[in-house]
Amino acid sequence: MKPDRIERAHLRDPRDLSHTIHRYDPPADLAGLVQRFWIPVWSVDPGHRAEQRVLQYPCALVVVARDYARFYGVAAGLSTTTLIGDGWAVGVMCEPAGGWLLARRSMAEFKDRYADVVDVLGDAGAVLAREVRAAMSMPTLVGSHTAAMSLMNAALRTFLPVDDEGIQVNQVVAFVEQHPDVLRVAQVCERFDLSERALQRLVRRRVGLSPKWLIQRRRLHEASALLRDRPGSLAEVAAELGYADQSHFIRDFTGSVGAPPNRYAAS
């Protein structure tokens, strides 16, 4: 189990003690399809709400909770979930290749939206949701997590192997995320010997968005981490992220997060 931590994608107020997130690596045979599992368990005082804000990674999600089971496409902007009462969820964070493998449809159809897991996985989705809920009868226990993930693993294995295009899109996204010096789509085209049009089609079909969005999202993830460490140094952060000027950085950040960077850093 990976320890709970504030990830760069999760814009969590450090004063928010409403929940604990348990994170687990997938088994080796699901490499290329699944990045990880995460299981949040929360308890919010009556009459209160806990807003969770996430700048989602470029990948689909499968989430089973007590009262819903959903397949999520990528949210282009800020994704917000409100926690109330006591609850839990079992989440699968797919690799970029995974969304299309599960849905067999362009991920552009799921941009900024979700579908009931039954609409994507059919009757198997209903069975999976029912069995995962039974396994999570004691949501704070690691044994319940292990049982729920075992059910998820068995269901996900039916979508293997990862196809060649899926392998390629995984490599494209990893390249963008692991190289902060990649600031232009042309750099990605050159690395993978793809025309800009071919790259656009690949990323739209498998992720649902554009190569330019991939670069911007990575920069915003980096920004959220830097602002936690260096609040007030907007010019330094903008320069480190490769922005030509501070105002451009502020526009990008505010447009996606819904708050200017200095306000985000203060919170």
Domain that holds residue 209: 164-266
Same domain, 36 and 79: yes
Q: Do 254 and 261 touch, CB atoms closer than 8 A?
A: yes
At 72 the pLDDT is 98
Measure CA 125 to chain center.
21
CATH number at residue 229: 1.10.10.60
Give 37-65 pLDDT, tens digit per residue. Answer: 999 999 999 999 988 889 999 999 999 99
User: What is the rounded CA–CA span in Å between residue 174 and residue 195?
Assistant: 19
Do the domain assignments include residue 250?
Answer: yes
- Which of 157, 191, 206 terminates a domain? The answer is 157
Q: How many domains does the chain have?
A: 2
Phi and psi for 214 in degrees, rounded to 5?
-55, -45
User: What is the rounded CA–CA span in Å between residue 123 and residue 225?
Assistant: 41
Same domain, 169 and 233: yes
Pairing of strands 86-94, 79-83: unpaired
Q: Do 224 and 238 touch, CB atoms closer than 8 A?
A: no
User: What angle separates helix 246-257 from helix 211-229, to the nearest 10 degrees?
Assistant: 100
Give 68-95 pLDDT, tens digit per residue. Answer: 999 999 999 989 999 999 999 999 999 9
Against a cut of 0.75, is the pTM above it? yes
Do the domain assignments include residue 193?
Answer: yes
At 13 the pLDDT is 76
At 2 the pLDDT is 42
Enumerate residue ranges in the chain where pLDDT < 70: 1-7, 230-232
At 258 the pLDDT is 82
Question: Cα separations (Å) of 34 from 17, 86, 192, 233?
Answer: 28, 27, 23, 36
Same domain, 153 and 169: no
- Which of 132, 157, 182 terminates a domain? The answer is 157
Same domain, 68 and 194: no
Do the domain assignments include residue 3?
Answer: no
Can you say whether the dihedral through the CA atoms of 158, 163, 169, 171 is positive or negative?
A: positive
